[in-house]
Amino acid sequence: MLSELFVAFYIGCAGFVAAGVIGSFYQLLTDQPPRFNIAVESFLGTIAALGLCLIAGPFIIMRNAIRGRRIEGRPIGWLVASSTIAGMWSLVSGLFVTHFALSLVATF
């Protein structure tokens, strides 16, 4: 039981790290933080924006939640709910990233 929890925690951390790396890389390229409402004008841009939001979603949620708590003074429950959503999203995206990495390693 404890080993499954450790694996789930590890996969969730991997998902959040992937979200942070993708979000920070987007911010490095565009000089603006990633958001869920990205304006795109082409089909390829739409697909790229969707991929960005799917992978960097936990990073965006937590950045907005922490800023909302600090700047706007939102209640602590808002931060807890946002953390829970970001944690579950990180678990799912971490499972995707881990599976992708293991598949990539298996091809070599």
Tokens of 16: 């959040």
| Angstrom distance (rounded) from CA 68 to CA 48 | 27
pLDDT above 80: residue 38? no
Encode pLDDT of 51-74 as tens digits.
Answer: 899 999 999 999 999 999 999 989
The count of domains in the chain is 1
The answer to whether residue 36 scores a pLDDT higher than 80 is yes
Read off the tokens for 89: 């999203």
Query: Could you list the residue range(s) of the whole structural domain that residue 87 is in?
Result: 2-107
In whole angstroms, what is the distance from residue 58 CA to residue 85 CA? 8
Go through the chain and tell me how many residues it has: 108
Span 73-86, pLDDT tens digits: 899 999 999 999 99
